[in-house]
Chain A
Amino acid sequence: MKKKWFWFAGLFVALVLAGVVSNFASSSPDGLDAAARQGCTFNADDEITGGTCMAQQEKDHQLGGSPLADYGIKGIDNPYVSTGLAGVAGVLITFAIGGGLFWVARRRTHV
């Protein structure tokens, strides 16, 4: 295996996971969210109808209106395309920001 291929392959796998496989992820509440909902009852629209639980105290996100909020792209109606493109954007942004900062912060061998 050529050494350079690793980077392309790694990024490609991340893009496919976030861009395609993400559409097949479970939409059930995750462990934390499930614990937060414990003690309350919910109606068909997922609104709290009674009881006491942590989720009652949840406040809206300050940046909830962001164009990528909730892993979708605002304005794209097809849910698969919206989630997929948001995932691809997230991977590229994370790689660019993370990789960029780590590169800037790296230890120079000859300084």
Chain B
Amino acid sequence: MFLQKLRYRIFKQNKISFFSRNQPISQKSQSDILNLLKSDKNEVHEGYRIVAGIVLSRTPIILRDPHPFEREYYLYQQRLEHIHAPPFPVDFYFKKGSVAEKKWREKKEREKAEASLAFGSRKTKNKTSSEKNGEEETIDSSDVSSDEEEIKIANKITSADLTNDVKSLDRALQHTLYLIVKKPRETHSWQFPQGGVEKTETLVQAASRELEEECGNCMDVWFVGRRPIGYYKYDYPKCFVKDNIEYKGAKVFFMAAHIFAGQVKVDNKEIIDFAWVTKQEMKNYVHTEYYEAVKDMLSEH
């Protein structure tokens, strides 16, 4: 809850930031000169280039592992519920003397015997609390249909996890993965994909165009709304500024997006490498300053 609060506050701060499309650019002398200098079609504000960044994420696919305390809690609640539940109306669900009834009674007896052997370790047939832990839920469903066919449970840890293949999307299924790309330079090489906003574009249009240019068009992407979720301002290094006097730095507005299918295709011009990483892993890739700026808009899950 606290985290969400913090993220909300940051989200809001970013919203109220001064930049808006309709606002006229401030009439200071410096920016006037810069306006004159600006010859191409890129969007500029107070000497800073306006840039759209894309926070492309793959949402968690499976439920997270419950904390040991949580597990205990739910198990206890489940047992309580089982004790206080009204008796199961056998006559209503099974015809008297039918095969199904016989089977059910046998199963119940078996369960009882097992429960007396190891008290509390047995999972009861309780649907309400089974959604809490996905693993046991699947076991439950396999129990029900064990007579007809065996249901195989896929492993939570995939082969990509074992080989630590950061380019695979089938990794860290319990966590949110974020796309970061590597640019051909020495410092600040890893970052979210980003690109300059052109005069006639909105932020979303710029973001989707840049994503297509940098990462190929083999991805099924959905942008969450048209508002930016984060803001980051930085100055260009001095050697870079000498070459193009137009911009002092860049103001990055991050757009949230989800990927549903597909994979990144590296174009080897603007970017040379990419990785799908969780928030914790991102620390090892990106610059500390950059991480501090973006960490609050990323999900802890």
**A and B are partners in one complex rather than unrelated chains:** no
